Structure 1
Amino acid sequence: MKSLTFRPSLCSAAAGRARWLADGRADRQGSAVSAPYPPGRLDTANPPPPYPPTPAGYSVNTMADKDGKKDLEEAEGGWKQFIYNPGTGQFMGRTASSWALIFLFYLVFYGFLAGLFSFTMWVMLQMLDDYTPKYRDRVSSPGLMIRPKVGSSLEIVFNKSDYKSYEKYISALDGFLKPYDDLIQAQKNILCHPGKYLIQPDIIAEKKACQFNRTTLGECSGNNNNTFGYNEGKPCVLVKMNRIIGLEAGGGSNPVVNCTSKKEPQVDIKYFGSFDKMYYPYYGKKAHVNYSQPLVAVKLMLGTNDTNKDLMIECKITGTNLRNDDDRDRFLGRVAFRVHVTE
């Protein structure tokens, strides 16, 4: 069936007919509205214009119906044309050349940023030395640390009658001292003259290192007593000094380690090994490949009165250019640890 759309003349006719009917209805109800014809009667002499007849085979559609259908069609096809518009060849609102220019812009932009970052990193690396840190003023004096160190706490707690209670300590000590075996030291390092710094010229890329033999530690070497005195209730503790590149430790004299009990009574202590000047200066991990860090072994000669007690032992290192009195850093030139031995 075909559709026919009303024109403005048709709408005017319909409006006039509606007014004619309304006036007649008001007269019948006794309305005070004046009319050119008697109350209760329609003006038959001037009837409203009739509706135009609808041609056969046609349906009546208003302009509003056509506008609604048009909006619906546009809504359904709008998002499809946004994805791809076959008429203009645009994809998501842009042509292929526009997308290519955007991609090229970001490619150049991020490529420039990557190049700038790489250049600044290269400049910075050119200013660094592979063997020596550029800035070393923050660490002017070394700290101390002990072995065995099981876990994060600095304490040695065991029962001298129970092997399993101190097995972890002797295993840690034996593993730490493996590189100090005399045979290994003889193969890697050289014999040096005690009491003299081993200063080597810069032209030598790989520096030589002095031997530090395990046997130097005497009763704490583990050679004669593989329990390091723990089975006797007289444990051995190794004290090591942190490495600082270029430091001539002691400032002309050998650094000395001294350990004391923080509370009375004092504990008898034996010392083995030393921080001799011949092990200094240290030239760094890359240059001093076979460097063996010197050690001082401390054997706590605990008696019957020292068992079943908490003992706080503090070890300090003294030397001309070494500090041990900084309250802000409890490891600078010193170390404190707890010992508790039971029977």
Structure 2
Amino acid sequence: MTADSTYMSASVKSFPYSFSDKSQLKDEIIIKDDELTYDEKCHNLGVYCYNPKYHEVCARDGEGWAKISLFYFVWFMLLAGIFASLLGIFMAIIDKRIPTFRGNSSALALDTYNLNPGLGFRPQISVEKTLIKYRSSTRDGQYGWGEHKNQLDTFLSYYTEQDLQYQQQIDCTKYSLDQLPPLFRQGKSCWFNLLDLNFDKSPCVSQRNFEYDRGHPCVLIKLNKIYEWVPIPYENVAEVPERLKSIWDAKMSEYILVQCDGENDVDRDFIYELEYYSPLQNTKIGGFPRYFFPYLNQDGYRSPLVFVYFKKIETNVLINVECRAYAKNINHDDSIEYKRGSVHFELIVE
């Protein structure tokens, strides 16, 4: 078989070899009409990876690699410059304080077709876990109550620190509800007085370790922030859910109500007595003052809080607890996937 040399590069030779000494072709690529043997394939791969005769790596010499590296460097720098320019334009035109899509046009309303805030709780050792478990006889260690107390102290410290942001806080009880939104748009926010949680000598204070060492834990409940959301509270007893009618009074029309209970019938059997400490000052139910809303991303904004005091519960038993917020425009969904208008956590006191 004879190879046509006009169709081959200088580094490619046909096979069988036309040279008497085959060692002279050790740096050449083998090409033939028949299928290559295993040894020939390995030979071609080795020559492709590095050809010492022509000083080529992957069929390119140093000059070739320099050219293609320079091309891709310039190309990717150009792409990065375009991306940075577009990102800079986007950041320059977008309002960093006001969401572009808000109200029922926001992503938060996609599932329910209207805004529906949920609740959060503290202490929460991990955002991925909803279990509050500790031994009342142990302060430190894996299941000691000290970690829960420290987290509550840290969370409440944001309500007592005297920093520049607090210059923007005002006593909202001195204003009407109509006067507050313009002040909020100026960056003002309502001051939350922690003394409102300590009416009638509340047990939920750091000096008493939030009662964790006595086996009667205090859990903080807060309403999640949603931009421009305004609550529509119940105005009379006819509008409230059936479970709240027995404790309703006219003062509650100025609050978003909060109530906790066992999630299931079995869990309710293990919760014997609950008390609430909040600005509503009613131990039978908690409440967030409506003058804290709407939230407009003000600096120094502090969410209103409610302390739930588990005054008497069963010990050494896992209790599933559900807390719900109540207002006309807060919908509840009992599905495990959504749990709208509520928060779930588990409690074990050993």
TM-score by length of 2: 0.61
Identify if the C-alpha distance between structure 1 residues 319 and 256 changes in structure 2 by more than 3 Å, giving closer, same or farther. Answer: same
The one-letter code of the counterpart of 1:239 is: I
TM-score by length of 1: 0.62
Q: CA deviation at 1:302?
A: 0.3
Structure 1 equivalent of residue 275 of structure 2 = 270
User: 1:316 is matched with which residue: 314, 324, 329?
Assistant: 324
Q: What are the Cα deviations for residues 275-313 of structure 1, in whole angstroms up to 9, with x where unaligned?
A: 1122112122xxx2211111111111206xx33433222
Could you list the runs of 5+ residues in structure 2 that have no partner in the other structure? 1-18, 30-50, 109-114, 235-253, 279-286
The answer on whether the counterparts of 1:182 and 1:214 sit within 8 Å (CA) in structure 2 is no
State the superposition RMSD in angstroms. 3.8
The one-letter code of the counterpart of 1:125 is: M
Q: What are the Cα deviations for residues 64-91 of structure 1, in whole angstroms up to 9, with x where unaligned?
A: xxx758x97797899777349xxxxxxx
Identify if the C-alpha distance between structure 1 residues 153 and 199 changes in structure 2 by more than 3 Å, giving closer, same or farther. Answer: same
Q: CA deviation at 1:107?
A: 6.0
Identify if the C-alpha distance between structure 1 residues 229 and 124 changes in structure 2 by more than 3 Å, giving closer, same or farther. Answer: same
The answer on whether the counterparts of 1:220 and 1:297 sit within 8 Å (CA) in structure 2 is no
Structure 1 equivalent of residue 309 of structure 2 = 299
Identify if the C-alpha distance between structure 1 residues 215 and 115 changes in structure 2 by more than 3 Å, giving closer, same or farther. Answer: same
The answer on whether the counterparts of 1:157 and 1:339 sit within 8 Å (CA) in structure 2 is yes
Secondary structure, aligned partner of 1:125: helix
Structure 1 residue 138 corresponds to structure 2 residue 101: no
User: 1:237 is matched with which residue: 210, 219, 239?
Assistant: 219
Q: Bigger shift: 179-188 or 154-163?
A: 179-188
Q: CA deviation at 1:157?
A: 2.9
Q: Bigger shift: 242-251 or 74-83?
A: 74-83
Count of residues in Structure 1 that have an aligned counterpart in Structure 2:
260
Structure 1 residue 211 corresponds to structure 2 residue 191: yes
Structure 1 residue 222 corresponds to structure 2 residue 222: no
The answer on whether the counterparts of 1:145 and 1:331 sit within 8 Å (CA) in structure 2 is no
Could you list the runs of 5+ residues in structure 1 that have no partner in the other structure? 1-66, 85-91
Q: What are the Cα deviations for residues 177-226 of structure 1, in whole angstroms up to 9, with x where unaligned?
A: 1122386797662211277363136973xx11211122221115515x43
Q: CA deviation at 1:235?
A: 1.4
Q: What are the Cα deviations for residues 252-285 of structure 1, in whole angstroms up to 9, with x where unaligned?
A: 852111111233435321111231122112122x
Paired with 1:135 and 1:299, the residues of 2 have a C-alpha distance of 38
Structure 1 residue 337 corresponds to structure 2 residue 333: no
Structure 1 residue 249 corresponds to structure 2 residue 257: no
The answer on whether the counterparts of 2:275 and 2:310 sit within 8 Å (CA) in structure 1 is yes
Paired with 1:186 and 1:202, the residues of 2 have a C-alpha distance of 14
The answer on whether the counterparts of 2:333 and 2:339 sit within 8 Å (CA) in structure 1 is no
The answer on whether the counterparts of 1:235 and 1:299 sit within 8 Å (CA) in structure 2 is yes
Query: Highest CA radius of gyration, 1 or 2?
Result: 1
Paired with 2:117 and 2:83, the residues of 1 have a C-alpha distance of 36
Structure 1 equivalent of residue 239 of structure 2 = none
Secondary structure, aligned partner of 1:238: strand
Structure 2 equivalent of residue 200 of structure 1 = 182
User: 1:283 is matched with which residue: 296, 305, 310?
Assistant: 296
Secondary structure, aligned partner of 2:276: strand
Structure 1 equivalent of residue 123 of structure 2 = 148
Secondary structure, aligned partner of 2:324: strand
Structure 2 equivalent of residue 160 of structure 1 = 136
The one-letter code of the counterpart of 1:200 is: P
Structure 1 residue 82 corresponds to structure 2 residue 42: no
The answer on whether the counterparts of 1:246 and 1:283 sit within 8 Å (CA) in structure 2 is yes
The one-letter code of the counterpart of 1:222 is: V
Matches within 5 A, 1:167-186: 167-181=146-160
Q: What are the Cα deviations for residues 141-191 of structure 1, in whole angstroms up to 9, with x where unaligned?
A: 222121111234323333434444322221221121112238679766221
Secondary structure, aligned partner of 2:300: coil
